[in-house]
Chain A
């Protein structure tokens, strides 16, 4: 029977779409069957159908879309800030060799400190609310952006720089037409990784910091999930949050990957 299934999957056109979904479908079916056995419908183990209902309810009430929008604007702002700072700093450090000795120890000291460790300070400085969340996000995004940009600059093929100089390139042309395009794949990779780190950080940050009173229409998805955890035991809503977070992260990552492929067709992207 397995062989028959396999041949169906390969031969039929819709088999192509079904193949990657096969295991998730089986797992979902198992989950649906298991949940009612363990506990009540919306108790300890929410069922897939319960989660789907949760999606519907939260979307209709507007809570999911507005929270998602809030989180996205925060991560967007944080990303823009951190990306600009990160890339500029990396270019400076690369250009001024001495700066590397001065800046590197600082960077390497702070990089391992998890973004959420900054939450208490962030609240002290920015209050609970949007700006604290943006600070945490910026912190998280900065390091991958900086490290990757610097690595990209340092791994530029020296031959290309030599060739540009022998062709009479001005300093301005060197930066604009040789250095930046050459380092661009690494910069985009840094952005992609930074975005991933930022998205993870925002959820954690919003769970503690995001607040309706701190500005912004709502407290973001992290806040939404936290409220559901502490004030009602609607676990299915939390799972809705988790799935939303995962899907959005995947979509953002896909966008970056697409950008990576488009700007550097001569490089194989993972």
Chain B
């Protein structure tokens, strides 16, 4: 079992007002190596909190998260994170951003630049090596962020709504790009992918976790084993049925979250 969450829960304490917010849990989850797991749920259901705990950026107030049986205590390059707004370093070029993780490993300049160039080829950013993030379009930034994460070759990819800021057309193309990058290699990476978009989850994932409204609990754990490659599934009736099935699970919670 690659990733395990045991009785995981998170309560945020507002130091000033004394309010306690039960953001997440308790949650029990087991993810196998190489699985692509999507997490969907209404706004505020704690999806990002769950990711933050798995990334080691948040310490849970209850329970534990394990990677390969070992407790997750902090961030590390074994779990790569793709943030919603990409979090690219604005003062570094595309090449430098991608090479950052390699620099952290102590790799020499020549070596890490050639590594980074390979990744640039892989994500399709050739010609933009010396550009800065503010000169790139949304789709390009997303690819740069992905390349940066892949550079350190993590076994686990934690992605927090990475395509949320993209327009619909770019998003469709990027989804295919992501699947191509993920499917490469003998050992597929384990992916936890948070999204608001149900059709995105059905398109990408092997398995879909549906979360309830706050405090976020796992409402359903749905198998999503359409054949790969999935370019054609959007035209299949089973695709729409799956989306409707999941939406009916979330719908009431979503309405509640909106009116609260």
Interface residues of A (CB under 8 A from B): 157, 159-160, 162-170, 173, 177-178, 181-182, 184, 263-266
Contact = CB atoms under 8 A, between A and B. Distances in A.
B81 interface: yes
Contacts of B101: 167-168
A263 B101 CA distance: 23
A266 B81 contact: no
Interface residues of B, number: 28
Contacts of A182: 89, 91
B91 A181 contact: yes
Contacts of B83: 159, 162-163
A157 B90 CA distance: 11
B260 to A, nearest CB: 26
B125 to A, nearest CB: 18
28 contacts: A159-B87, A162-B57, A162-B87, A163-B81, A164-B89, A164-B100, A165-B75, A166-B55, A166-B56, A166-B57, A167-B77, A167-B100, A167-B149, A168-B101, A168-B152, A170-B104, A173-B104, A177-B103, A178-B89, A181-B89, A181-B91, A182-B91, A264-B91, A265-B132, A265-B134, A266-B90, A266-B91, A266-B132
A176 to B, nearest CB: 10
B97 to A, nearest CB: 10
Interface string B56-95: 1100000000000000001111011101010101111000
Nearest to B77: A168
Nearest to B96: A177
Contacts of B132: 265-266
A37 B57 CA distance: 76
Contacts of A157: 87
Contacts of B79: 166
Interface string B125-152: 0000000111000000000000011001
Closest 5 CB pairs of A and B: A168-B77, A167-B101, A163-B87, A266-B134, A165-B75
Interface of B: 55-57, 74-77, 79-81, 83, 85, 87, 89-92, 100-101, 103-105, 132-134, 148-149, 152
Contact of A162 (B81, B103, B148): B81
A39 to B, nearest CB: 57
Which one of B57, B80, B92, B133 has the highest number of Cβ atoms from chain A below 10 Å of its Cβ?
B57
Given A157-B87, A167-B77, 15 more contacts: A159-B83, A159-B85, A162-B57, A162-B83, A163-B81, A164-B89, A165-B74, A165-B75, A168-B101, A169-B104, A173-B103, A177-B100, A181-B92, A265-B132, A266-B91
Nearest to B105: A168
